[in-house]
Amino acid sequence: MLAPSSKTPLPVDLFDASASARRKVAVGTIVIAVAVAAITGSVWGTVAAVALTVIGVGYSVQRSLVAHENQVQSTLHRYRQEANHAQDCLARLQQDAEQTTSAMQMMREGVILLSHDGRILLINPSASDLLAVACESKVKGRLLSEIVRIPELAKGIAVAGASDASQELLLEIAVHDLLRPVKVHIAPIASQSETRLLVTLRDETETNQVDKSRREFVANISHELKTPLAAIKGYAETVELAIKDDPTAAMHFMSQIQVQCLRLERLIADMMQLARAQAGRAHLKIQTVELAEVMAESMRSNEPVAEAKHIDLQYEATEVADVLSDREATLTIANNLIGNAIRYTPNGGNVHVSLRDAGRMVAIVVQDDGVGISAGEQKRIFERFYRVQNSRTSRDDGTTAMTEGTGIGLSIVKNLTNALGGEVRLTSHPGKGARFEVLLPKSNSDPSN
């Protein structure tokens, strides 16, 4: 509401009341003057009567003007209050509109507001990106069906507008030569003037990838559990048949059962380590860790395995700073790196372990001359249960066998290193081995930086 202008007419009853009051005072004054003149019967009496009349009229006018001024000031004050209130309401509306617009611009989901005839009233950057259209300023007011040539989308919008019922669609939209699965929700919004349509779009690529990873995980863990359990069952049945006739064979099968049980135990232990690694930093005991001592312990654990494959396992002890880490997590990282290198290095190969200073970090370096990893596989090597395609090693009798392992060791390394504020680096070429580096923050540095 705007403040009244200087030409705003004052209430008519205000002047009517003032005129009536003046008339009453004037009449009363004249009556008094006539009475005085009649009583005195002289000129001075008449003069006195006139004077009284003038005084009475002036007093009446003054009182009327004062009352009029007070009422005008009161009216103006009320108008000013209403104007200020209207300005405050307008400012709040503008602020709410700006906040809503800012929030919508930052949303990951695409949002489009359409008029009843399908014209674009509003579109946020996410929707522009998903539909590969220009920014809002260039498409506002245009028909969406003219800009986006997707028949299913146009049909869904038409149905929602005609039936006043929400529509759900799952589309595949080509964006920058890539097909993206996009979930579309179309909802009518009724207002006093017209019914508008709110279209929301959500990129389902990441959700589908998570679902795919979950399915692969379930399939892989089922396979990893099924294989040793099937072997245990077979060995147990054979032992039952051979225990009387061939005790030696029975003992052999019993040892195989023990091997498979150890395999299951190792798989469960690795799964527990992976769960701990994926839980993040909150479940780790961060403290100063003497890295050289941890590496020495890991070397002692892996030396028997290397000797069994006639692998030359070397450790270059270098004096480096302590790291800010979790001791058990650091030992797990070292064991998985060294064990993985031994596993994928053929009999008679070499594995070299060392430490190096890397500025604010200390690097654990494990290098082997094993099968190597192709560039394409390096992108997936840290996924759970993933194994390189050429993961076969030679036996002493000249045959080959699939490399043993659960396939989650490097995933554990990656997750633990991230939780510790470190970094994993990989350099490898097929047939030329691999070089893994895990960088952990020094104890005098802040891993969050």
4 part of a folded domain? no
Taking only the tens place, the pLDDT of each residue in 331-350 is: 989 998 998 899 888 899 99
**Block residue for tokens 């008029």:** 115
The average pLDDT across 157-168 equals 86
Q: Is the pLDDT of residue 366 over 90?
A: yes
Reduced to 3 states, what is the DSSP secondary structure of residue 352?
strand
pTM over 0.75: no
User: What pLDDT sits at residue 142?
Assistant: 87
Compute CA distances 343 → 97, 106, 268, whole Å.
62, 48, 19
**Mean pLDDT, to the nearest integer, of 417-436?**
90
Predicted confidence at residue 362, as pLDDT, reads: 93
pLDDT tens, position by position, 234-265:
878 777 777 777 778 778 778 888 877 877 77
Confidence label for 430 from pLDDT (cuts 50, 70 and 90): confident
What percent of the chain shows pLDDT beyond 90?
16
User: pLDDT (tens digit, 9 = 90+) per residue, 203-243?
Assistant: 888 888 877 777 776 776 776 677 777 877 887 877 777 77
Q: Please report, rounded to a whole number, the percentage of residues in the chain having pLDDT higher than 70.
A: 77
Amino acid (1-letter code) at residue 287: Q
| Residue 224 belongs to domain with CATH number | 1.10.287.130
Of 50, 69, 102, which closes a domain?
102
Residue 391 in this model has a pLDDT that exceeds 80? no
Report which residue type is found at 103.
Answer: A
The residue among 257, 278, 299 that closes a domain is 278
Q: Does residue 288 sit in the same domain as residue 394?
A: yes
Say if residue 170 is in the same domain as residue 252. no
* pLDDT at residue 432 in the model: 86
Q: 225 and 93 in one domain? A: no
Grade residue 388 by pLDDT with cuts at 50, 70 and 90. Answer: low
Contacts of 113 (CB under 8 A, 6+ apart): 120, 121, 122, 123, 196, 197, 198, 199
Closest CA to 338 of 415, 409, 407, 240: 409
Position 122 in a domain = yes
Do 53 and 85 sit in the same domain of this protein?
Answer: yes
Two tokens, residue 218: 């379930």
Q: What is the pLDDT of residue 106?
A: 76
Reported as a single tens digit per residue, the pLDDT across 78-137 is 888 888 888 888 888 888 777 777 777 778 888 988 888 888 888 888 888 888 887 777
The string over 1-34, giving b where at least 16 C-beta atoms fall within 10 Å of a residue's C-beta and e elsewhere, is eeeeeeeeeeeeeeeeebeeebeebbeebbeebe
pLDDT band at 283 (very low <50, low <70, confident <90, very high): confident
Q: Please name the residues in contact with 13: beta carbons below 8 A apart, sequence gap of 6 or more.
A: none
Quote the CA–CA distance of 427 and 18 in Å, as a whole number.
Answer: 101
How far apart CA 160 and CA 190 sit, in angstroms, is: 12
- Residue 427 and residue 318 share a domain: yes
Q: Do residues 303 and 437 both lie within one domain?
A: yes
The residue-averaged pLDDT of 274-286 equals 76
Supply 191's token pair: 């207002």
Position 77 in a domain: yes
8 alpha-carbon distance from chain centroid: 57
Shared domain check, 134 and 264: no
When comparing pLDDT for 444 and 373, which is higher?
Answer: 373
| 8 A C-beta contact, residue 380 and residue 343 | no
Range of the domain at 223: 209-278
pLDDT of residue 10: 44
Is 3 part of a structural domain of the chain? no
Compute the Cα dihedral for 381, 386, 387, 389 and give only its sign. Answer: negative
**Per the domain annotation, does 47 fall within a domain?**
yes
pLDDT at res. 448: 47
Let me know: does 168 contact 146? Beta carbons within 8 Å: no
Whether residue 201 has pLDDT greater than 80? yes
- Indicate the range of 30-44, 374-388, 413-427 predicted with least confidence: 30-44
Q: Are residues 139 and 225 in the same domain?
A: no
Query: In three state form, how does the secondary structure of 30-52 look?
Result: HHHHHHHHHHHCCHHHHHHHHHH
Domain boundary, last residue among 203, 236, 258: 203
CATH code where residue 311 lies: 3.30.565.10
Q: Please tell me which residue, 194 or 289, carries the higher pLDDT value.
A: 289
The pLDDT-based confidence of 27 (bands split at 50, 70, 90) is low
Same domain, 266 and 309: no
Question: Does residue 399 share a domain with residue 289?
Answer: yes
Could you report the per-residue pLDDT of 59-76, keeping only the tens digit for each? 666 666 777 777 878 888
30 and 177, same domain (yes or no): no
> How far does CA 180 lie from the centroid of its chain?
19
Res. 150: pLDDT tops 80? yes
Alpha-carbon separation of residue 105 from 102, 109, 110, 186, 293 (angstroms): 5, 10, 9, 19, 53
What angle is formed at CA 253 by the lines to CA 252 and CA 256, rounded to 5 degrees? 95
pLDDT at 247: 79
- The CATH number given to whatever domain includes residue 173 is 3.30.450.20
Q: What is residue 23's predicted lDDT score, i.e. its pLDDT?
A: 55
Residues 144 and 254 in one domain: no
pLDDT band, very low/low/confident/very high, at 56 (cuts 50, 70, 90):
low
pLDDT for the residue 424:
92
Phi, psi of 258 (to 5 degrees): -65, -40
> Cα torsion for 407, 411, 417, 422, to the nearest 10°?
110
Nearest-angstrom CA–CA distance, 329 and 415: 10
Q: Is residue 161 part of a domain?
A: yes
345 vs 385: which has the higher pLDDT: 345
In a domain, 1, yes or no: no
Looking at the structure of the chain, the number of domains it has is 4
Q: How many whole angstroms from its chain centre is CA 177?
A: 26
Mean pLDDT of the chain: 78
7 within domain boundaries: no
